[in-house]
Amino acid sequence: MLKLKNMEQTVKIGDERYPKLLKEIGSQAPKKLYYKGDWNDDIFENCLAVVGSRHLTSYGRKITEQFVTEIASSGITIVSGFMYGGDEAAHKATVRAGGKTIAVMPCGIDIIHPHYQEELYNEILEKNGLIISELEGKFSPVYWTYVKRNRIVAGLSKAILIVEAGLNSGSLLTAGHAKKYGRKIFAVPGQITSDVSKGTAKLIKEGAEIATDAKDILKYYNISSVNSNSVKPSLNFGKEEQKIIEQLKREPMEADMLARTLGVPAAKIGATLSLMQLKGFINQESGKYYVN
């Protein structure tokens, strides 16, 4: 069974099964698509491209996870490019939320690139996702294949969500394609000082829609969120926990910073943070804590 799943299969542009949206991009549409996984027409129905910088910040990762979890569990297919950073975060969040995802590879269908994401690759296939590419067999990823891959990501999707992007980045190229094909563009605002928020700021200036909530995107797909209220922790915080939450709501912080700001010894703050993390109130990403 698994063997059959991994077997190489193709869809040509003339086929009935060829995704309609992708066909709409005209002469740029790939003539032939190689794929792995179950080719199911449903998967192409409501697609959202989620792209982000390779140098995703902890903020970007958190937002990607938050948005994608909600959007994917509402039945929308998440399309991305399997690169590390933003793409990987989007695929991973989808798989975890039990949603459908399509990974458009920048290389031949028989290569897993980057190779250390093999686990994610297999997970996508196991969870009824699709791996597709216009390139054959063991075609190595080279500079131009990444760029060409982006047009397929944009072409498959009704809308595109850019979480973080630098100026002159691949994510902006994808956004450019989406614009050309007349697809809706959502951009997540970030701090204007962050390098990877400069691209999204540019998109917003140029008229992209600001996305501050997954519902902004779901509204576009005419879907109301299914799990609008995921299990929110009860509000019986201790006094110190309350203070920590207040600080973290303003800005994610390291334990040191919290200890200083609240004037609590590091030993005590450490213990409290561990407990809060276990209770699910807060989370940690690259050293900083933030409120869930």
Partner 1 sequence: MLIKVLSVVNLGLETVKVDVEVNLANRGLPGFEIVGLPDKAVGESKERVRAAILSSGVDFPPKKITVNLAPADIPKEGSLYDLPIAVGILSSVFQFSIPDKSLFLGELSFDGSLRHTKGALLMALFAKEFGFSNLFVPKDSANEAGAIKGVKVFPVENLTQLAGYFLKRKNIEPVIYKKVLEGLPQPAEFDMKEVLGQEQAKRAMEIAAAGGHNIIMIGSPGSGKTMLARALPGILPPLNETESLEVTKIYSVAGNIPPGGSLLTNRQFRAPHHTASLAGLIGGGTRPHPGEISLAHRGVLFLDEFNEFPHNILEAMRQPLEDGYLTISRSKGRAMYPADFMLVASANPCPCGYLNHPKKNCACNQHQIRKYQKRISGPILDRIDLHIAVQPVDTTEFSDNQKNSELLESSQAIKQRVVLAREMQEKRFEKDSIQSNAQMKNTHIKKYCKLAKDVEDLLRRASLKFQLSARAYMKTIKVARTIADLEGAEEIAISHMAEALQYKQKNYEPA
Q: State which residue, 66 or 277, has the beta carbon closest to partner 1.
A: 277
Straight-line distance from the first to the last Cα atom of the chain, in angstroms, rounded to the nearest whole number: 40
Candidates 45, 195, 216, 240: give the one binding partner 1 (CB under 8 A): 195
Query: Of the ranges 39-47, 169-177, 243-251, 271-279, which one interacts with partner 1 (CB under 8 A)?
Result: 271-279
State yes or no: residue 271 binds partner 1 (CB under 8 A): yes
Q: How far is CA 198 from CA 89, 222, 285, in A?
A: 20, 30, 22
240: contact with partner 1 by CB under 8 A:
no
Residue 259 CB, nearest distance to partner 1 (Å)?
A: 4
Nearer to partner 1, 80 or 272 (CB): 272
Letter for the amino acid at 125? Answer: L
- CB closer to partner 1 out of 14 and 265: 265
Binding of partner 1 at residue 17 (CB under 8 A)?
Answer: no
Binding of residue 278 to partner 1 (CB under 8 A)? yes
202, two tokens: 């540019």
H or E element that contains 162:
strand 159-162
Answer whether the bond into residue 114 is a cis peptide, omega within 30°: yes
Tokens of 227: 């799990």
- The answer to the question of residue 96 lying near partner 1 (CB under 8 A) is no
The amino acid occupying position 248 is L
Q: Note whether 38 binds partner 1 by CB under 8 A.
A: no
One residue of 285, 290, 291, 292 binding partner 1 per CB under 8 A: 285
Residue 142 makes contact with partner 1 by CB under 8 A: no
Tokens 């699910």, residue located: 280
Record the tokens describing residue 276, joined without a space: 């809060």
Q: Supply 39's token pair.
A: 């080719």
Within 8 A by CB and 6+ apart from 15, the residues are none
Q: Name the residues that contact partner 1, by CB under 8 A.
A: 54-58, 61, 84-85, 114, 116, 195, 254-256, 259-260, 265-275, 277-278, 285-287
